[in-house]
């Protein structure tokens, strides 16, 4: 009976995500004038040159993401070779898309990287989650800068104005967050207060320990300002590559109503929404966001949905490479290929 209950619990998550993905797609088709035949015709007309450029841009985003994680591992004293970091990262990309949702690959990366070291396991695992934080910070910092330069567009249309204001608010939150994360003594003081102690009693000690370790791993980078700046710069580069991916795929579909700056405003919201683990690799959620935001620029819904599906196709293409990596070399490399040392 216990085995049956555990099996149902294990399957309920993926089944729910599939249901959400299909439900949103069903809603998109039946709440708009999108006909499957029109969608297929739009996809058939895409220009291969722009399509290839979009795929290469997405591949660049993945490489930059893994390079950022590689540098973070080394700063924590986990000195993996680049090819091993690439291997584990591509396995994470595969599981992101096909198994556990758009953030599930982080757990897989944490599992594999913890097997690469004996004395730095905690540091290795926490880099995975610190890397996610750096990614979000870099993305919204860059998007916020672009949004500030588009203040003159506030009068264009309410959806675009709301988008710009939302990104500027995210930019301010990120700046404040970067400052707040650096205030180690402030955190110690706040958690020593009686109200904080009362709240902490309701939080399992295991979760508290994980949160503290992730914070310590992230805070380490503040001791190296150049490293911190470079990691944020890499995160901005990842976001720029994702924008180029969407821009090229849009051009392949003949979407010219939105320039490159416009995609710098749209893609952060789409990426953030798709990263919430409520559907399979953001499917459905991403599509609804893309259709809605592109419609604000006058793009027909059928082209918006076609673009979203092409973005998903680029994700799947990279994920399949990760799947090949997982199948043919799923285990850790010999110990001679990776070693750890005390963090500097």
Q: Which of 179-193, 204-218, 242-256 has the highest mean pLDDT?
A: 242-256
Q: Which residue has the higher pLDDT, 140 or 27?
A: 140
Phi, psi of 45 (to 5 degrees): -85, 0
On whether the CB atoms of residues 24 and 279 are closer than 8 A, the answer is: yes
| pLDDT-derived band at 277, boundaries 50, 70, 90 | low
Least confident of 70-79, 106-115, 156-165: 156-165
Other beta carbons within 10 angstroms of residue 252's beta carbon come to 22
Percent residues over pLDDT 90 in the chain: 16
SS3 35: coil
Q: Work out the percent of the chain whose per-residue pLDDT is above 70.
A: 78
Q: pLDDT band at 33, cuts 50/70/90?
A: low
Tokens 């949004």 belong to residue: 147
Give pLDDT tens digits for 297-317: 888 888 988 999 899 889 888
Average pLDDT, the chain: 79
Q: Is the pLDDT of residue 85 over 50?
A: yes
**For residue range 45-63, what is the model confidence (pLDDT) as tens digits?**
889 999 999 999 999 999 9
pLDDT above 60: residue 9: no
8 Å CB contact between 105 and 277: no
| Confidence bin at 342 (pLDDT 50/70/90) | very low
Query: Rounded to an integer, what distance in angstroms lies between the CA atom of residue 227 and that of residue 95?
Result: 29
In terms of pTM, does the model score above 0.95? no
Min mean pLDDT across 94-103, 228-237, 240-249 is at 94-103
Contacts 24+ apart (CB under 8 A), 319-323: 319/93, 319/94, 319/96, 319/97, 319/98, 319/281, 320/94, 321/90, 321/93, 321/94, 322/90, 322/91, 322/92, 322/93, 322/94, 322/95, 322/97, 323/94, 323/98
pLDDT of residue 343: 42
Going by C-alpha positions, the residue among 74, 136, 144, 79 that lies closest to residue 103 is 136
Find the helix packing angle between 285-295 and 260-275, rounded to 10°: 150
- Cα–Cα distance, 227 to 70 (Å, whole number): 12
Would you place residue 102 in the very low, low, confident or very high pLDDT band (cuts 50, 70, 90)? low
| pLDDT band at residue 238 under the 50/70/90 scheme | very high
Alpha carbon 103 to chain centroid, angstroms? 7
Mean pLDDT of 268-278: 76
Evaluate whether 80 touches 332 at the Cβ level (below 8 Å). Answer: no
For the chain, give me the number of helices (H) and strands (E)?
14, 2
- 68-107 as b/e: b if 16+ CB within 10 A: bbbbbbbbbbbbbeeebbbbbbbbbbbbbbbbbbbebbbb
Confidence of residue 32 (pLDDT cuts 50, 70, 90): low
The pLDDT of residue 30 is: 52
């Amino acid at each position: 009976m216990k085995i049956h209950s555990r099996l149902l619990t294990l399957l309920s998550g993926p089944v729910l995500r599939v249901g959400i993905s299909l439900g949103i797609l069903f809603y998109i088709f039946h709440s708009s004038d999108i006909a499957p035949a029109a969608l297929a015709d739009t996809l058939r007309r895409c220009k291969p040159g722009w399509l290839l450029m979009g795929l290469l841009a997405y591949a660049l985003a993945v490489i930059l993401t893994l390079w950022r994680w590689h540098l973070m591992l080394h700063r924590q004293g986990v000195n993996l070779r680049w090819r091993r970091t690439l291997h584990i990262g591509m396995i994470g990309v595969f599981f992101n898309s096909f198994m556990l949702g758009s953030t599930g690959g982080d757990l897989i990366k944490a599992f594999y990287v913890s097997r690469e070291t004996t004395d730095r396991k905690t540091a290795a695992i926490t880099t995975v989650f610190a890397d996610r934080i750096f990614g979000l910070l870099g993305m919204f910092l860059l998007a916020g800068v672009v949004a500030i330069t588009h203040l003159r567009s506030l009068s264009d249309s309410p959806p675009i104005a709301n988008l710009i204001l939302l990104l500027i608010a995210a930019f301010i939150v990120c700046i404040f967050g970067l400052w707040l994360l650096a205030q180690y003594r402030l955190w110690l003081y706040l958690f020593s207060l009686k109200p904080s102690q009362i709240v902490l009693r309701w939080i399992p000690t295991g979760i508290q320990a994980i949160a503290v370790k992730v914070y310590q791993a992230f805070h380490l980078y503040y001791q190296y300002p150049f490293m911190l700046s470079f990691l944020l710069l890499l995160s901005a580069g990842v976001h720029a590559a994702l924008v180029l991916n969407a821009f090229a795929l849009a051009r392949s579909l003949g979407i010219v109503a939105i320039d490159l700056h416009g995609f710098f405003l749209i893609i952060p919201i789409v990426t953030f929404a798709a990263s919430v683990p409520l559907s399979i690799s953001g499917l459905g959620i991403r599509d609804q966001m893309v259709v809605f935001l592109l419609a604000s620029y006058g793009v027909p819904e059928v082209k918006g949905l076609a673009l979203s599906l092409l973005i998903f196709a680029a994700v799947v293409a990279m994920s399949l490479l990760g799947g090949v990596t997982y199948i043919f070399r799923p285990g850790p490399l010999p110990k001679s290929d990776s070693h750890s040392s005390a963090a500097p």
